Amino acid sequence: MKELKELKKIEKYVDQCMKCGFCTYFCPVYQEERVETSVARGKNYLVKLALKGEQEFTDELGKILSKCLLCKRCVVNCPAKSQIDRVVVGARAQMVNEKGLGAIKNFVFRKVMADRKRFTRYLKLAKAFQWLLPRTEGNIRHLPDFLKALGAGRNIPELAKTFLRDMVKPAYRPEGVKEPVMRVGFFMGCATDFIYPEIGLKLIDFLVKRNVEVIVPKEQNCCGAAIYFSGDFQTGRLLADMNADAFRDVDLIVTACATCSSTLKEYEKYLPESEDQRKRYEDFSKKVKDSMEFIIDVLKVDPKELKVREEFKGKTVTWHDPCHLVRYQDIKDQPRNILKNLEGIKYVEMPNADLCCGMGGSFSVYYYDLSKKIAKKKTEGIKATGADVVVTACPGCMINLIDNLLHNKMPQRVYHILELVE
């Protein structure tokens, strides 16, 4: 009898589903494909069969499990409160236990992303050759057909000329104050580090000017979202331990990436193998705050005191809710409070602002055409606002929104909310 270690951990969540099918209305994948295996109920049923020994972990089941954005729309709208995100991730971990990661993920996750110095070296090498990709506009490059495995025709932002980790100091102490209001660690994240360093610098500057001491540990690594949500709990634990060690001497941990903040907060949910490890991850996760949460709820910054940057004055602005912000962390009002109180801009609420943009991390790599279909509803919502600027708080969403706006020949520009503030 095979050991169903990871499935046994999620068995209680599998039993929550009452097969009502309410999830079919909310699932963005099901809304495009209309097949039972695309939706929470279908995936849950197959995992239940696996628990009974009536379903093997085949390549086909692996594909079904991978075709989930983990957007949690089904979770927050489920009458039975079924935790299908726990079910899907746990089943993916069981799949890895039984079938392995595969050569590509094994190399990318365990040989590259788990070693930050090596990861940086590979990206610097890629940066040296990105001039070969045709430029769409500004700093956006276009993936030609021979790179169709990554999504032929995809528009991607350039890697930054200088990575954030090469620009920051280990510590930033406010000038002219005897004692900072608190000592926080800044978690960079991959996209902010390698693509959008200006967002990281903006957050550090914002905090220091409000008398917060900011520590930037060079030992920090990737948050692990793409890794442990793919079922590689082994590498996920390695990253979690690195990050817990790196930030052990700070009051709180702040990041400008919604995916990072939600992922760091969930170490305790997925990764512990012992009670001591659970306590360690729990203590770490309690320290984590997304930038929006930290600015409004912890620092108690009055949004009316914030000023919009000159280049955005007179613009109409709308807000996109990242899944990892609105459903994973219940952070919804804080960014809206900022935008509604910025004098000089007009804020317009987007229809269905919390719809997934279709990114879903590696989902948009494996299912790029499907991702674009899902994003179509988002771009239609943006168009309905008449906005000039789309604002969000997740670099991953920014990348996907830019791609889809360009595909649809729409004029809107995408920014992180911190970029709007003077």
d(CA 45, CA 64): 12
pLDDT digits (tens, 9 = 90+) for 198-219: 999 999 999 999 999 999 999 9
pLDDT digits (tens, 9 = 90+) for 282-341: 999 999 999 999 999 999 999 999 999 999 999 999 999 999 999 999 999 999 999 999
Residues 148 and 218 in one domain: no
Q: In terms of residue numbers, what domain contains 315?
A: 304-420
The model's pTM is 0.94
For residue 53, the 8-state DSSP code is: T
Tokens describing residue 18: 């009452």
Which residue pairs, CB below 8 angstroms and at least 24 apart, start in 270-277? 270/89, 270/90, 270/93, 270/228, 270/233, 270/236, 271/228, 271/233, 271/236, 271/237, 271/240, 273/237, 277/237
Residues 274 and 218 in one domain: yes
What is the domain-level CATH number for residue 49? 1.10.1060.10
Q: Which of 243, 263, 298 is the last residue of a domain?
A: 298
Q: Which residues contact 125 (CB under 8 A, 6 or more apart)?
A: none
Residues 127 and 58 in one domain: no
Residues 329 and 376 in one domain: yes
Residues 278 and 401 in one domain: no
| Share above pLDDT 70 across residues of the chain, in percent, rounded to a whole number | 96
Half-sphere exposure of 21 (CA within 13 A, CB side): 5
Residues 94 and 137 in one domain: no
Residues 139 and 180 in one domain: no
Strands (E), 282-382: 288-290, 316-319, 346-347
Nearest to 213 by CA among 243, 189, 177, 167: 177
Residue with tokens 């269905």: 352
Residues 288 and 360 in one domain: no
SS3 call for 67: coil
pLDDT at 147: 42
What is the domain-level CATH number for residue 218? 1.20.1050
Residues 150 and 179 in one domain: no
Residues 23 and 112 in one domain: no
Per-residue pLDDT, averaged over 261-274, amounts to: 96
Residue with tokens 């709308």: 318
Q: Note whether 41 and 16 are within 8 A (CB).
A: no
Q: Which of 76, 99, 122 is the last residue of a domain?
A: 99
Domains contained in the chain, number: 4
What is the domain-level CATH number for residue 382? 3.40.50.1860
SS3 call for 330: coil
Q: Which of 57, 73, 99 is the last residue of a domain?
A: 99
d(CA 272, CA 255): 23
pLDDT digits (tens, 9 = 90+) for 226-239: 999 999 999 999 99
For residue 310, the 8-state DSSP code is: G
Residues 283 and 376 in one domain: no
Residues 204 and 327 in one domain: no
Please give the full DSSP string across 195-210, using - where no structure is assigned: T-HHHHHHHHHHHHTT
